[in-house]
């Protein structure tokens, strides 16, 4: 039996793969290594996995029907799926909207079609996003809140995936859990994420832009806590016709300017800060109600930014030095 993990060369995907391999799972990793950001970073993540005897890699796009559906015959031992592959980034959806629909909607649909063809499938866990809550002002965000007013195309594609999953659970009895991730950060993160962009600017003496004087608040969640939640959910399959949607966050809402302060301390250098109005794609605050995932698998995030950011900074400095 094996776990199919999409987005295996991605930030969260690499960490999830390491956790699964560390407990003796066989993992089939899928990734298309697309050039949305520096492919060398994806290749370096993949290199950490490829030496493990339990890991096999398939280079493929999850929206490629022939490649993905062919796995049903080629890999009949797949009994669980962790589907993390997606086109990330809220603001980039204003630049290339088509790639979001292709990756996040068509890719999700293809994975569901694969899932219903697997004879031993026990559970499909997939990545959604806290962005589906849009401009919701009720805090903390709860899974029962309305999510029909997305403020970005990225959010709309993630909500579309949730709805398609619900229909497939009803039609085909697929056991599924969707996870609404809240602002994940940590070592091996992406260059388009705030820690990397802020960190690079600080070290290079370039200004960083903080919207609304840095008063926007985010539920920053360290990647190791996220991984514990993903694996915990994978081990607790949803009822076949009752798909779950769960928040997975830190249950702490922190001002972005405080995040920058801790990053400055970790890097030993002050930031040059420029203030700007909040873009239409950005919400004022995110804050996860994690009651449901705690009850399901004992999820208990343990990493405040005062611990997590220095760990990111240590890795980031090493990466910039070529290590």
Beta-bridged to residue 92, according to DSSP, are none
Annotated active-site residue in 100, 126, 133, 154: 154
- Give yes or no: 154 in active site: yes
Query: Which residues have a Cβ under 8 Å from the Cβ of 282 and sit 6 or more positions away?
Result: 90, 211, 216
Q: The tokens of 194 are what?
A: 């705030």
Beta bridge partners of 111: none
What's the CA dihedral at 204, 205, 211, 212 to 10 degrees? 160
Spell out the residues 6+ positions from residue 310 whose beta carbon is closer than 8 angstroms to its own.
262, 265, 266
Listed in sequence order, the DSSP H helices in the chain are: 11-22, 39-50, 65-69, 71-74, 97-100, 107-117, 153-172, 194-204, 223-234, 256-267, 291-297, 305-320
For Cα atoms 180, 184, 185, give the angle at the middle one, nearest 5 degrees: 175
> Catalytic residue positions?
154
């Amino acid at each position: 039996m094996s776990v199919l993990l999409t987005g295996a060369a991605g930030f969260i995907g690499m960490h999830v793969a390491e956790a699964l391999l560390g407990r003796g799972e066989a993992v089939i990793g899928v990734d298309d290594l697309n050039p949305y950001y520096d492919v060398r970073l994806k290749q370096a993540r993949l290199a950490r996995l490829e030496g493990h005897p339990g890991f096999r890699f398939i280079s493929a796009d999850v929206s490629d029907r022939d490649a993905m559906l062919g796995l049903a015959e080629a890999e009949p031992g797949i009994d669980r799926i962790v589907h993390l592959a997606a086109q990330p980034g809220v603001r980039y959806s204003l630049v290339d909207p088509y790639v979001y629909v292709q990756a996040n909607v068509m890719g999700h649909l293809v994975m569901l079609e694969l899932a219903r063809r697997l004879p031993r499938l026990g559970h499909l866990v997939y990545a959604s996003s806290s962005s589906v809550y849009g401009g919701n002002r009720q805090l903390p965000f709860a899974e029962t809140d309305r999510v029909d007013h997305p403020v970005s195309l990225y959010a709309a594609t993630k909500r579309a995936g949730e709805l398609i999953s619900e229909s497939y659970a009803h039609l085909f009895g697929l056991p599924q859990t969707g996870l609404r991730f809240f602002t994940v950060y940590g070592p091996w993160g992406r260059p388009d994420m705030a820690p990397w962009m802020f960190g690079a600017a600080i070290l290079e003496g370039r200004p960083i832009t903080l919207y609304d004087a840095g008063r926007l608040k985010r539920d920053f969640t360290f990647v190791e806590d996220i991984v514990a939640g993903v694996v915990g959910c994978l081990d607790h399959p949803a009822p076949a016709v009752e798909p779950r949607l769960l928040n997975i966050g830190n249950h702490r809402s922190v001002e972005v300017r405080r995040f920058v302060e801790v990053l400055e301390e970790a890097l030993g250098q002050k930031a040059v800060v420029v203030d700007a109005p909040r873009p239409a794609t950005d919400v004022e605050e995110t804050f996860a109600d994690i009651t449901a995932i705690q009850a399901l698998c004992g999820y208990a995030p343990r990493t405040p930014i005062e611990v997590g950011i220095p760990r990111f900074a240590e890795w980031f400095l090493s990466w910039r030095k070529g290590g």
